[in-house]
Amino acid sequence: MSNNLEILTSDELDALASIDPASGMPHQLDDRARATLAEILDAEPAHADVVPLAPRTRRRTLQRAALAGAAAVALAIAVPFVLKDENTTAHAAWSPVGTVVTGLAAAQQLASCEALVHSWATPDHPRPVTAAVARGIEAGRTSTVTETRGTRHLTSIVTGDTGATCLTSPDGSATTVDFHGRYPAPAADSVSATVSRTILIRDRDGQVSDEALRRARQVAPTLFRAVLGTDVQGVEISGPSLEPTRATIVGGIAIAWWPGATTSATTLTLDLADGSRRELPITGALVDDADAFYGHEDRSDRSDGGLVTIRE
Amino acid sequence: MTTIENGKDAARAARFTRLYEQHHGDVLRFARRRVEAEAAHDVMHDTFLVAWRRLDDVPEHTRPWILTVAHHTIGNRLRAERRLAQAYLTAATAPRPPGETPEDHAFAVDLSRAWDQLARSDREVLALVAWDGLTPTEAASVLGTSPGTFRVRLLRARARLRDRLGHDISSRSLPEGAAR
Cβ-based contacts of B158 with chain A (< 8 Å):
7-8, 12
Nearest of A212, A181, A176 to residue A196 by alpha carbon: A176
Residue B177 domain-assigned? Answer: no
Distance from CA of A216 to the nearest CA of B (A): 14
Closest alpha carbon within chain B to A41: B13
Residues B117 and B154 both lie in one domain: yes
How many angstroms separate the CA atoms of A71 and A19, rounded?
Answer: 58
Element (H, E) at A138: helix A128-139
A291 touching B (Cβ < 8 Å): no
Residue B147 domain-assigned? Answer: yes
B106 touching A (Cβ < 8 Å): no
Residues B72 and B29 both lie in one domain: yes
Residue B2 domain-assigned? Answer: no
State the pLDDT at residue A254. Answer: 92
Summarize pLDDT for A113-171 with one digit per residue, the tens. 887 777 666 655 555 666 777 777 777 766 788 999 988 889 988 877 778 888 887 66
State the pLDDT at residue B93. Answer: 66
State the pLDDT at residue B28. Answer: 94
Q: Output B142 or A56, whichever has higher pLDDT.
A: B142
Subunit contact B16:A1, Cβ cutoff 8 A: no
Summarize pLDDT for B107-166 with one digit per residue, the tens. 888 888 899 888 888 899 999 999 999 998 899 888 888 888 888 889 889 999 998 888
State the pLDDT at residue A142. Answer: 65
Of B42, B111, B179, Cβ closest to residue A19: B111
Element (H, E) at A210: helix A210-219
Q: B83 to each of A120, A191, A284, A306, how far by Cα in Å? A: 10, 33, 33, 22
A207 touching B (Cβ < 8 Å): no
Q: With cut-offs at 50, 70 and 90, classify the pLDDT of residue A57.
A: very low
Q: DSSP labels for B42-57? A: HHHHHHHHHHHHTGGG
Domain with residue B123: its CATH number is 1.10.10.10
Cβ-based contacts of B180 with chain A (< 8 Å):
13-14, 17
State the pLDDT at residue A267. Answer: 81
State the pLDDT at residue A234. Answer: 94
Subunit contact A44:B2, Cβ cutoff 8 A: yes
Cβ-based contacts of A84 with chain B (< 8 Å):
39, 42, 45
Q: What is the mean pLDDT of chain A?
A: 66
Among B86, B115, B145, identify where a domain stops.
Answer: B86
Cβ-based contacts of A54 with chain B (< 8 Å):
72
How many angstroms separate the CA atoms of B169 and B174, rounded?
Answer: 9
A17 touching B (Cβ < 8 Å): yes
Summarize pLDDT for B48-107 with one digit per residue, the tens. 988 888 888 888 889 999 998 898 888 777 766 666 666 677 777 656 666 667 777 788
A31 touching B (Cβ < 8 Å): no
Summarize pLDDT for A197-235 with one digit per residue, the tens. 655 444 444 445 566 556 666 666 788 888 888 999 999
Look at chain B and report how many structural domains it folds into: 2
Q: A145 to each of A78, A155, A251, B14, B133, how far by Cα in Å? A: 19, 6, 8, 50, 46
State the pLDDT at residue B132. Answer: 93
Residues B81 and B107 both lie in one domain: no
Q: What is the mean pLDDT of chain B?
A: 80
Domain with residue B17: its CATH number is 1.10.1740.10
For residue B64, the enclosing domain spans: 7-86
Q: Output A78 or B41, whichever has higher pLDDT.
A: B41
Among B61, B86, B111, identify where a domain stops.
Answer: B86
Residues B81 and B30 both lie in one domain: yes
How many angstroms separate the CA atoms of A134 and A132, rounded?
Answer: 5
Residue B74 domain-assigned? Answer: yes
Residue B28 domain-assigned? Answer: yes
